[in-house]
Amino acid sequence: MNNLANSIKEQGIIQPITVRKLGYDKYQLICGERRLKAAYIAKLKVIPAFIRLADDQQMLEMALVENIQREDLNALDIAISYNRLIEECNLTQGKLSERVGKNRTTITNYIRLLKLPAEIQIALRDNKISMGHARPLINLKDTETQINILNEIINKGLSVREVENIVKNLSNLKTGKSKQSQRNQLAPKFVKIQKDLASKFPSGIELKRNNKGKGSIVIPFKSDEDLERIVSIIENHD
């Protein structure tokens, strides 16, 4: 919640909350509770809101569906409209698919854009990047990496294919590191051996072993004096 509040304080609320008008200067929150609470934390006095009348659900649904058909909407506008239809009109993605004439995968891809950091959503809203640029970034879990790639897209004019390749390479690198880490993980009995050896040398020790039983013992040293002490320990042990 604090992270959302900080984002709202910096960027404002991108997706307005929705309220129902109950009477003069009186409203009921329909959706956007987290955004509203975060706005309180950020000490905002004014936030954007969609205001609905008490009995306008069918009219709202018709208006949103009609609005989605406009040609001048950007990807974020469409994503927000799809999300409103699901949250406020109680439509499933299947029903929404029938209403707007789009397959469910397309609708899912649009709605997933709302999970991106505020900076990326703003870039979409302002047409600085396309939906094709934004979609690969959803697969990255690290917000800082997402923002760094966003800046590269804008500053270097990266194509969608280039962004896809960057994300693919990052994912492969992460998977490779994970597999390498698993391969390098020592069984408990070898961890104990490494600790026992490390206690005998002034600069620690590293034991490497593969699944076939082959490996090496690495004893680092920081100076000639360190090296002499290590040699002395080995000789005395003999």
CATH number of the domain that 24 lies in?
1.10.10.2830
33/110 same-domain check: yes
35/63 same-domain check: yes
Look at residue 12 and tell me whether its pLDDT is greater than 70.
Answer: yes
Residue 50 has φ and ψ, to the nearest 5°, of -85, 130
User: What pLDDT is recorded for position 136?
Assistant: 92
Interatomic CA distance for residues 69 and 66, integer angstroms: 5
Mean pLDDT of 21-46: 84
**Confidence band for 155, pLDDT divided at 50, 70 and 90:** very high
User: What pLDDT is recorded for position 120?
Assistant: 93
Interatomic CA distance for residues 188 and 186, integer angstroms: 6
Look at residue 1 and tell me whether its pLDDT is greater than 70.
Answer: yes
Element (H, E) at 31: strand 26-31
Token pair for residue 180? 């390498």
124/207 same-domain check: no
**What is the Cβ-side half-sphere exposure of residue 139, based on CA atoms within 13 angstroms?**
15
Q: In this predicted model, which residue has the larger pLDDT, 81 or 187?
A: 81
29/52 same-domain check: yes
Residue 68 has φ and ψ, to the nearest 5°, of -65, -25
Q: What is the mean pLDDT of the chain?
A: 81
User: What pLDDT is recorded for position 57?
Assistant: 67
Look at residue 131 and tell me whether its pLDDT is greater than 60.
Answer: yes
Domain that holds residue 153: 129-183
Are 23 and 80 spatial neighbours (Cβ–Cβ below 8 Å)?
Answer: no
Q: Is 33 one of the catalytic residues?
A: yes
Look at residue 101 and tell me whether its pLDDT is greater than 70.
Answer: yes
Look at residue 184 and tell me whether its pLDDT is greater than 70.
Answer: no
Look at residue 38 and tell me whether its pLDDT is greater than 80.
Answer: yes
Mean pLDDT of 74-101: 85
72/103 same-domain check: yes
**Confidence band for 109, pLDDT divided at 50, 70 and 90:** very high
Catalytic residue among 33, 66, 206, 225: 33
Q: What's the number of domains the chain is made of?
A: 3
Interatomic CA distance for residues 83 and 42, integer angstroms: 24
66/163 same-domain check: no
46/123 same-domain check: yes
Q: What is the rounded (10 degree) CA torsion for 188, 194, 195, 198?
A: -170
Is the pTM higher than 0.85? The answer reads no
55/141 same-domain check: no
12/78 same-domain check: yes
15/120 same-domain check: yes
197/230 same-domain check: yes
**What is the Cβ-side half-sphere exposure of residue 162, based on CA atoms within 13 angstroms?**
9
